[in-house]
Amino acid sequence: MLSYRHAFHAGNHADVLKHLVLLELLGYYNRKEKPWYYIDTHAGAGCYALHSEQADKTAEFAEGIARLWGCDDPPAPIAAYLAAVRQFNPHGRLLFYPGSPALAMTQARAQDRLRLFELHPADFESLQRTFNTEQERVQVRRADGFGALKGLLPPPSRRAVVLLDPPYELKEDYRRVVDTLRDAMRRFPNGTFAVWYPMLARADARALPERLAELGAESWLDVRLAVRQPARDGFGMFGSGLYVVNPPWVLPQRLELALLWLVERLGVEPGAGFDLEHHIE
């Protein structure tokens, strides 16, 4: 149950897509002075050393953030994402990759708050260390984020971005993410919820986007980035997606150019591409 460690996957193509969208959401929320909450149900360790034993074992960042690091003149959303990652690499070398909470913190103002959940004991301790000087704005709890989320909705500010990013190692994660989103939409209809999901050959992974759509959100966006064709043996993640409830109206246009650019740099086979669907009221 607690075997998943994101350090093996930090900075891969899925992180690029997920964090690009996350920064776009928080950047839009920053257009108003009113405070926001960032809630992360599966926060991970906070920040990852890319040349640690874990990261070097898979070196997935080599097909993700490393391919973008030295690029000139990226689209504005990509430039903002790279600028955020560079805050953790001040000397120019790509040595560290920030997780979702650390990237969210780059956008947080004095009035904003982060609420982070992580079950893995080692990752929880690392997350605590990452934010040990920010206890006024950031609360870190060792808890099941699926269950803990309901106690935070709606937040006092009535403005929040909630990231549901489970590892999907357990089959029940596919059910729980749908059930959790259904309950969250009921408790906080105006919240912005982003569900990350893997693109895999397995049936429950293929069915997840449709199950999320069946929840009936009035405003939604579904973005997917594939970097290769599905393997013939059905093994491995060939892309990923995010389903966003109550996305900003500007998000589709900003993502489209960024995704075209990403496919050219992250795609490793002719099967690479992206899908972007939305209905925003």
Q: What does the pLDDT read at residue 234?
A: 66
For residue 241, give the amino acid letter. G
Q: What does the pLDDT read at residue 98?
A: 97
| Residue pLDDT tens, the chain, 281 long | 455 567 788 999 999 999 999 999 999 999 999 999 999 999 999 999 998 766 566 689 999 999 999 898 999 999 999 999 999 999 999 999 999 999 999 999 999 999 999 999 999 999 999 999 898 999 999 999 999 999 999 999 999 999 999 999 899 999 999 999 999 999 999 999 999 999 999 999 999 999 999 999 999 999 999 999 887 776 789 999 999 999 999 999 999 999 999 999 999 878 899 999 999 98
Q: What does the pLDDT read at residue 235?
A: 73
Q: Write the pLDDT tens digit of every residue in 211-252.
A: 999 999 999 999 999 999 887 776 789 999 999 999 999 999
Q: Position of tokens 């120019």?
A: 92
pTM, to two decimals: 0.95
Q: What does the pLDDT read at residue 2?
A: 52
Q: What does the pLDDT read at residue 59?
A: 84
Q: What does the pLDDT read at residue 277?
A: 98
Mean pLDDT across the chain: 94
Query: Catalytic residue positions?
Result: 165
**At the top level of CATH, which class does the domain 6-279 belong to?**
alpha beta
